[in-house]
Amino acid sequence: MAILLGIVGGFIALIGGGELLVRGASNLAAAAKVSPLIIGLTVVAFGTSAPELAVSLQSCYTDKTDLAVGNAVGSNISNLLLILGASALAAPLAVNYRLFRIDIPVMIAAAALLWLFGLGGSLNRIEGAFCFIFLVAYFIFTVRQGRRESAVATSESLIAESEITYDPKTSTWVSIVLDVVKLVIGLALLVLGADWLVEACVELAKGFGVSELVIGLTVVAIGTSLPELVTSLMASLRGERDLAVGNVVGSNILNILLVLGLSAVVAPSGINVDAQSMAFDIPVLIAISLAVVPVFFSGFGITRIEGGAMLLYYLAYLTYLVWHAKTAPGTVTPISQLLMFLAPIVPLMVLVFIFRPRKTT
């Protein structure tokens, strides 16, 4: 009975939290005269990454950094394949052109920077500080650029484009505070709902005799991405598709530059980057980050078919993780072994990309 209550309560909290977060973020975007994309890249992305930041800082402060890089990289892979795939399956996503000019290159650069710093076997305090400074500069540029772009458009066109019912003329500090409260309560419900759901699913899996290792690689791994997943899904369903994609791209940037960067500054000996991450996990993240660019650029969006293909890739990736967990501890696996899990899906993805409808306007 407790497991059932945990699952039901977790889902209710996640859905309610996602709805409040998206509503609050959308209204704040109008009040600040910036697009929902900018809010998704900054405020919402930071909020959904806050739990990972808190856990990483705590573990690094006690010099327990073994899982920090793996968790951040795994979360980013999940964001690109699981969250974008599921969101596109719910409603086709539109990709703003500014993502190609600024944000996606920053996301790829952050992953490449992690690999470059990892060549020394760790992410030290100086490198972590560099990542954090890079993030601050990116945030300042993003907010300024967003306000400059929004100033070009009229208030009416911005509201119509974003489907926002917020009226800047009648807004007061009370309504703005209420939107901030919605955003904070939404984030709290997302975190609480994710915890309830993960705990209940872990107990349910144990009841079926599933090993703790497999549970950690699947249920817990997906559970840490539930706030981003629900936020993007709710944004997609409510028509805030810029916010949905911005949340994912922004979270991927924050997971490396903020979560790992700030954690490396706090950790007494820096963050360890193991051989498996350098040989497999980080290169896979870079490859996936590069692979989504032509998908985004073709038609400036993600169709339901492409979303389904991305989910199939994620399932293949999870299958590989479970298979690899059975190998001897400390074994470094090359990327080539992952290909046998991905190969059956490659022809499908190629066909989808070739024959997908193109926008003519």
Lowest mean pLDDT among 1-10, 75-84, 163-172, 309-318: 163-172
Chain centroid to CA 301: 17
CA nearest neighbour of 106 among 252, 262, 280? 252
Tell me the backbone φ, ψ of residue 122, rounded to 5 degrees: -160, 165
- Most confident listed range (123-137, 141-155, 188-202, 221-235): 123-137
Lowest mean pLDDT among 11-20, 105-114, 179-188, 344-353: 344-353
301 bridge partner residues: 94
Cα gap 67→281, rounded to integer Å: 12
Return the higher-pLDDT residue of 260 and 294: 260
Q: Tell me the pLDDT of the chain averaged across its residues.
A: 74
Q: Cα–Cα distance between 224 and 330 in angstroms, integer?
A: 24
Q: How high is the pLDDT of residue 136?
A: 92
- pLDDT at position 307, please? 86
Higher pLDDT, 141 or 354: 141
Q: Residues for the chain: how many in total?
A: 361
Average pLDDT over residues 49-55: 69
What is the mean predicted confidence (pLDDT) over 56-74? 71
Choose the most confident range, by mean pLDDT, from 52-61, 114-123, 149-158, 329-338: 114-123
Q: Which residues pair with 112 in a beta bridge?
A: none
- The CA distance from 107 to 288, in Å, is 11
Position 316 pLDDT exceeds 70: yes
pTM, rounded to two decimals: 0.77
What digits encode the pLDDT tens for the residues 253-264?
998 999 899 888
Q: pLDDT band at residue 150, thresholds of 50, 70 and 90?
A: low
User: What are the distances in angstroms from CA 141 to CA 40, 210, 243, 264, 337?
Assistant: 15, 47, 18, 24, 40
The whole-angstrom separation of Cα 138 and Cα 261 is 14
pLDDT score at 361: 41
Query: For residues 217 and 235, what is the distance between their CA atoms, to the nearest angstrom?
Result: 27
The pair of structure tokens assigned to 294 is 């032509």
DSSP 8-state secondary structure symbol assigned to residue 91: S
Structure tokens at 16: 């309610």
Q: Please, which pLDDT band fits residue 170 given cuts at 50, 70 and 90? A: very low
Element spanning 267, H or E: none
Which stretch, 179-193, 208-222, 256-270, has highest mean pLDDT?
Answer: 256-270
Residues 237 and 217: their CA atoms lie apart, in Å, by 28
Specify the range with the lowest mean pLDDT, choosing from 159-163, 203-207, 219-223, 351-355.
159-163
**Under 8 Å between Cβ of 257 and 117:** no
Q: What is the DSSP string of 112-170?
A: HHHHHHHTTTEE-HHHHHHHHHHHHHHHHHHHHHHHHHHHHS-HHHHHHHHT----TTT
Cα torsion 324, 326, 329, 332 to 10°: value is -20
3-state secondary structure of 357: coil
Of 277, 257, 263, the residue nearest 125 (C-alpha): 263
Sign for the CA dihedral angle at 272, 81, 199, 338 comes to: negative
| β 122-123/93-94 pair status | unpaired
The pLDDT value given to residue 186:
77
Hey, what domains does the chain have and what are their CATH numbers? Answer: 2-355 (1.20.1420.30)
Is residue 261 within 8 Å of residue 115, measured between CB atoms?
Answer: no
Q: Residue 117 above 70 pLDDT?
A: yes
Using pLDDT thresholds of 50, 70 and 90, give the confidence band for residue 109. Answer: very high
Radius of gyration of the chain (CA): 20
